[in-house]
Amino acid sequence: MLLGAHMSISGGMFMSLERGKSIGCQTIQVFTKNVNQWKAKLLTKKDIEDYLEHQRKTGISPVVAHDSYLINLASPDPESYEKSIEAFFIEMERAEKLGIPYLIFHPGAHLGSGEEEGLKRIADSINWVYKRARGFSLKLLLETTAGQGTNLGYSFEQLARIIDLVDKKKYMGVCYDTCHTFAAGYDIRDKSSYNKTFEDFDRVIGLERLKVFHINDSKKGLGSRIDRHEHIGKGMLGIEAFRLLLNDKQFKDTPMILETPKGKEMKEDIMNLKILRGLITL
């Protein structure tokens, strides 16, 4: 199994790789810019070279990127929609330059304008960015969401609908967040619910589109629609769900990335990774 965690880029992009290596990650997730700002400092040639050299040295692969939380590709407000698609395209360029294969993003929040309208706007944005992204190999991964507020992407049908409306379908994939999907109402806590959920995913979206897992336990219950990450085995999802996932052969090459709360020293990541590795009996 390919296990890792989200890593800070403080001190430079390459530092994320050093941090990941120091706690034994095989794969990591990064932001490619300050996540709380619209502006992004240009990546210099040196930033990119340092990063690529550290990636070679550490052997961490793949590195996946997550976009800024400010971006809302479903926004009904023309000004914030425009700002969002421009910023999203810049994030795609940054990821492409760093040789990152996947950019993960929350589909968007319709803010009262209606679900179908929101889903269409998300697909329109993707069609817009891909017209400008000539020659990119980067794929975009829609993240499963908890469906908090007016956030879209809380059902497999909604994700399938977006993909259906996108022209360049071969660039589309999904990131399955175990906390979000559980909060959205999909159970995986025992063998039969686990099988049913992934059969549903396969029937509605297709398992070949599932490219990355975010592995988080959930503070809130099944169908709560509330997005609160918890340490592995300490939440409402519980340890059995992770045992099933980590021993599922069909996902043995799918990156599994922690996004659980942590401090600077990453003790929590070390603990969660140890628990996860201890579950593997494959």
Where along the sequence are the contacts to Zn ion (CB under 5 A)? 177, 214, 227, 259
Smallest separation, CB 230 to Zn ion (Å): 11
Q: Which is nearer to Zn ion, 177 or 217 (CB)?
A: 177
Smallest separation, CB 79 to Zn ion (Å): 26
Q: Which is nearer to Zn ion, 67 or 227 (CB)?
A: 227
Other CB atoms within 10 A of residue 49 CB: 11
Smallest separation, CB 227 to Zn ion (Å): 4
Closest residue to Zn ion, based on beta-carbon distance: 214
Q: Which is nearer to Zn ion, 43 or 148 (CB)?
A: 148
Nearest-Å Rg of the Cα atoms of the chain is 18
Q: Which is nearer to Zn ion, 87 or 179 (CB)?
A: 179
Smallest separation, CB 216 to Zn ion (Å): 7
